[in-house]
Structure 1
Amino acid sequence: MPIETSEVPRVAVRSVGAVTALGGDAAALWAGARDGRVGIRPVQRLDLTGVRTKVGGEVDMSPESAHPYPRPGGFRDRMVELALRATDEAMAGAGDLPGRAGAERCGVVFGTCNAGLLSGREWLAAVDRGEHPPAGLAPMSTPQATGEALAGAYDFRGPVFAVNTACASGANAVGWAADLIRSGQADVVLTGGSDAFSDVLFGGFHALEALSPEPARPYSRERQGLSLGEGAAFLVLAREDLIAADDVLGWVGGYGLSADGYHPTAPRPDGSGASRAITQALRSAGARPDEVGYVNGHGTGTDKNDPAETQAIRTALGDAADTVPVSSTKSVIGHLLGAAGAAEAVVTVHALEQRTAPPTASYAGPDPACDLDYVPLDARALDSTVAVSNNFAFGGSNASLALLRADDRRRPPAADLDDVVVTGLAALGPFGDGVAAAREAAHSAGVPADPRGRVGTMTVDPEPHLSRKQRRRMDRMTVAAVVAADKALADAELADGDRAGTGVLVGTSAGPVESMAAFTRGVLADGPSGADPALFPNTVYNQPAGQVAQHLGLHGPTSTVSAGHASGATALAYACQLLRTGHADAVVCLAVDLVDELVVRAYRDLGVLSTTPGDRRFAVTDAAVAVVLERRGGAERRGARSRALLAGYGSASHVRPGGVSWDLGGDATARAGAHALHDAGIAAGEVAGVWTAAAGLAPADRGERAGLRRIFGDRLPPLHEPKKALGEPVGPGGALTTALAVDALDGGGHAGPALVNATSLGGTAVSLVVSPAADDK
């Protein structure tokens, strides 16, 4: 039966923090944006010889943090340091709020485009020199490593997730953080983004001929491209009843996500994809288009992005677009990539609070293709309680936030809640093609040893899913993602005509290692001239999601998430939340990671790669898993067969600052599992089986078992440990065990609900509950 509708709690912005080219705090960011003071200037820390530009929004300080976080060999990742500088300010402004909420109710959602690129670059360069770099450098390159570093710095023990939807990451992170609060997964969430300059970054945008030789002039006739920026911005969000009215800076009214499904780097010219994100943001906030008093635009200054965004605003706001002021914060700090959405949200909150629309600096006159009011050069009075902040990205990932002034009294519309069912499955790996093949392989002798260690790789047949021309510039990860998604959609019998509103969520831990390494090696060897423009689009984590959307015609909500080895389970949990609340009718959830020689080297150096069966470590394998989730009502209307109900989810963390944290005591596992069961309305005694995260790494497996005993006592349900035979497929592990659990339920292998566990190696646990589709709980 559909769940009854309920009131949605409001999500308050309690405090903010930022470090940008305009200064070391949020006040400097706002003052510079308000005054149109351009912080884009000649870059000092990098040699930009051979690059089309010499300017960027560089942070003019060394933001070294006193917080402990992993610094292998003493290497300090500037991206992490920038994040900690901004979060310190935001946390100071939050006062005793986190303490009153309790550590277990405080979470982190971190957005980034390049993640720990500087750590990865350092590690790769040393490997290629034939050296033995510190083992911890490689894992610090992942998005989740920084999310967990932030959680460890402030002892937050709630959900800890990272989102990597390229330039839409910051806005996506803020929206997801608000969802975690509205859904009861957390009460306080630290959210935002961070990215730092590197020669690899400048080389990539130079190769695409996207950089302006002078400070960017968004929306104007003389614009020549974008200006890159670096920095970090964070917001502390909280449930409304935890904050006194005088302490509310503003409200996160709602947000929207959408996929262009058009091109790896260029936006859809008519802006239709982006307009859907804006419309959804306003709808979820309960705001009308004619109530919008200000738009903080994506405004990059490129020939294609600015006109497309102009069309998106016109489509979403209708006649109101003729009078609404629009401006670009990127005109003063540059494009902060994964941090852009968070920095622009900070500016927008201040704009509403101070009743001032900041200008578009360096504006040089109207362009016929950009015909809105872009607040040229000087700030303007703003008398509205509603604003929109837009961020659009490579891969066609769009995110828009609807932000409200503190005195706006509206409440979000009650969500039209519904159950979430599984209607399609696909799995690819060394075991073969299909969940049945994985099920059979789980009873085998496991991954054999080879000279590198126990490593399983797969071969994916792209025909007939992708033609030779279509996959010409795709990497192996993207090909595997498209094939798995197409197979799952076919299994769900979701016809082409029913796919347009379907969303795409991808979970990955290592991301595009193959493409990132190849591109970085070119820059390391030959500088900007070695930057391959064909490779650069594939270096962003969300490129597989974008290609799936483009080739399979999916235009619903899209995001790419990371939680280490729990990434696949995290994608399923996020999709469950979006579907329950009506943000989409169907979502294909993908989890994909491929193992190349660099991934193998990283795990071997960490001492966790198995060489022989039973040696208390794990084998690693390729995998691509796709699960189609739908709202029960929509699935029933189209006559789809529901294989199982995704009845609940939960997440928790326990990070030890400065080191590896495998949830050795099972604390995070116990709390994540208990929360998932509570979310599903299922008692521990009703659980018929547990699909564990155990893959053979003895300390982590012992920790999980300890956590399960805290949930179930001495009467543990039957434990299923397929990864001990199949190997650890890195990010897709939780998605693969979920698919196996659903297969068992659908085939009568379980008499009742199953708990599925996934854990990162950094202290994050995610649990899912799947139950028979006929169960009306």
Structure 2
Amino acid sequence: MKALTIGGVGVVSPAGWGLAALREFLARDEAVVPEFLERTTSAGDVIRTPMARVPALADRALLPKLARLRRASSVGKFAAAAALEALGPERKAEIEAGQLRLGVICSMMNGCVNYSNRFYGEVLADPAVASPILFPETVYNAPASHLSAMVQCTAPNDTIIGDGAEVFLALDLAAEWLERGDADAVLVVAPEEADWLSAEALGYYDRRILPGEGAAAVLLEKDGAGPRLAAVPDGVSYALEPDRTRALKRLWSQLSAVDDGFTVWADGRVGVPRLDAAEDSVPWCGPRISTRLMLGEAMGASAAIQLVAAVDALQQGVYRQAVVTSVGGNQGVGGCRLVAAE
């Protein structure tokens, strides 16, 4: 089996648009300042929910001039910006010239919610004025479709839906495509957008969880020059091991992570002891990156943002290895281990 490497990463987060913004934000070791989503109930009450929002896009060069993206909601634009950064201009040109077959996998939990709310809200209020142009943006596969159109992909395209650990299944699927020869490179993208319904739903888990949004992308290829994807164990399903601490312990043994001071752990803690108990139970003294504590809980995008932060830490030359884990909300525990490029 050839080594699977990460040839590029991209990210959009409450820290800003791009990897440099994320790196600078994490270096400050500060939590994001939340904004508030507001909605008015039928009784006239105003409900305000704190949210870690992605700042407005200042540099329009970060998004291509694509007709599809003009009508896309923020989840599609987040995905496109992260994907373009991960690909870089040279690979994008190779794909468009037919010299590189790119597969696309989108991994998400919440997905295309803003236009779904708007479209179905219009249907309920007055079916005659519901805009059919919005309907294609309500389906889960819309961001993946936009990405393939954006770079003229001819290799497989897929969208997988799950909980906050689903991106590791996407990595496993990408590895399968590469080993089978279905694609020369695979772009894994995990986007999510802010929405009052999902933000308020997170509050039912715990009011201390700060909802977030954003997207992260990683480009997988064989024998590239980037960090090596050393291990992506099968996720541990709660159907087989319902206790989250034991589920993480089982996954951890397969990751073969070494607490040697040169390995960084990008964990999925959110700042709620009950939800962080599984990862807090691991005896770890080495360096940690806890992006959710600083950027909020972005559902399907959070683990991918952790992954990008881990890759960037390796590329800075400080660490030799990185381990990334996520304790999913209702399906299972997932993770991976990365080794710095030689």
Scaled to the shorter chain, the TM-score interval is: 0.7 to 0.9
- Of the candidates 202, 217, 230, which is equivalent to residue 647 of structure 1? 230
Answering whether residue 312 of structure 2 is matched by residue 720 of structure 1, we say: no
Contact 1:419 1:580 in 2 (8 A): no
Answering whether residue 265 of structure 2 is matched by residue 690 of structure 1, we say: yes
Alignment of 1:315-464 (within 5 A): 418-442=2-26, 443-450=28-35, 452-458=48-54, 459-460=56-57, 463-464=60-61
CA distance in 1, matches of 2:58, 2:213: 14
CA distance in 2, matches of 1:771, 1:449: 34
**Shift, 1:511, TM fit:** 0.9
Return the TM-score normalized by structure 2: 0.85
CA distance in 1, matches of 2:59, 2:132: 24
Distance 1:715 1:725, change over 3 A: closer
CA distance in 1, matches of 2:257, 2:286: 12
- Of the candidates 289, 292, 298, which is equivalent to residue 729 of structure 1? 298
Answering whether residue 253 of structure 2 is matched by residue 669 of structure 1, we say: no
CA distance in 2, matches of 1:670, 1:581: 31
- Of the candidates 186, 190, 197, which is equivalent to residue 587 of structure 1? 186
CA distance in 2, matches of 1:577, 1:469: 32
CA distance in 1, matches of 2:298, 2:133: 28
- In structure 1, the partner of 2:45 is none
SS in 2 for 1:731: helix
Q: Deviations over 1:625-657 (max 9, x none)?
A: 11111111xx4xxxxxx230111112112259x
- In structure 2, the partner of 1:758 is 326
CA distance in 1, matches of 2:179, 2:185: 10
- In structure 2, the partner of 1:702 is 277
Q: Deviations over 1:523-563 (max 9, x none)?
A: 22234x35432111111101110111011112212111122
Alignment of 1:581-660 (within 5 A): 581-604=180-203, 606-609=204-207, 617-632=208-223, 635=224, 642-650=225-233, 651-655=235-239
Distance 1:525 1:495, change over 3 A: closer
**Shift, 1:763, TM fit:** 4.3
Answering whether residue 325 of structure 2 is matched by residue 746 of structure 1, we say: no
**Shift, 1:595, TM fit:** 0.8
Distance 1:424 1:518, change over 3 A: same
- Of the candidates 144, 148, 159, which is equivalent to residue 560 of structure 1? 159
Unaligned runs of 5+ in 2: 37-47
- In structure 1, the partner of 2:143 is 544
Q: Deviations over 1:72-111 (max 9, x none)?
A: xxxxxxxxxxxxxxxxxxxxxxxxxxxxxxxxxxxxxxxx
CA distance in 2, matches of 1:726, 1:683: 25
Identity of aligned residues (%): 26
Distance 1:717 1:582, change over 3 A: farther
SS in 2 for 1:624: strand
Contact 2:190 2:304 in 1 (8 A): yes
Q: Deviations over 1:232-279 (max 9, x none)?
A: xxxxxxxxxxxxxxxxxxxxxxxxxxxxxxxxxxxxxxxxxxxxxxxx
CA distance in 2, matches of 1:608, 1:758: 18
CA distance in 1, matches of 2:317, 2:6: 15
CA distance in 2, matches of 1:683, 1:600: 33
- In structure 2, the partner of 1:524 is 124
Q: Deviations over 1:726-765 (max 9, x none)?
A: 2222111111111111111111121x32210012211411
Contact 1:669 1:765 in 2 (8 A): yes
**Shift, 1:449, TM fit:** 4.4
- In structure 1, the partner of 2:175 is 576
Q: How many residues are treated as equivalent by the alignment?
A: 323
Amino acid at match of 2:315: D
CA distance in 2, matches of 1:590, 1:471: 16
Amino acid at match of 1:628: L
Question: Which moved further from structure 2: 617-626 or 443-452?
Answer: 443-452
CA distance in 1, matches of 2:216, 2:111: 15
Answering whether residue 93 of structure 2 is matched by residue 496 of structure 1, we say: yes
Amino acid at match of 1:490: G
SS in 1 for 2:232: strand
CA distance in 1, matches of 2:16, 2:64: 19
SS in 1 for 2:182: coil
SS in 1 for 2:87: helix
- RMSD of equivalent CA atoms: 2.5
- In structure 2, the partner of 1:158 is none
Amino acid at match of 2:340: P
Answering whether residue 71 of structure 2 is matched by residue 473 of structure 1, we say: yes
CA distance in 1, matches of 2:232, 2:270: 21
Unaligned runs of 5+ in 1: 4-417, 610-616, 636-641
SS in 1 for 2:71: coil
**Shift, 1:462, TM fit:** 7.4
- In structure 2, the partner of 1:299 is none
SS in 2 for 1:584: coil
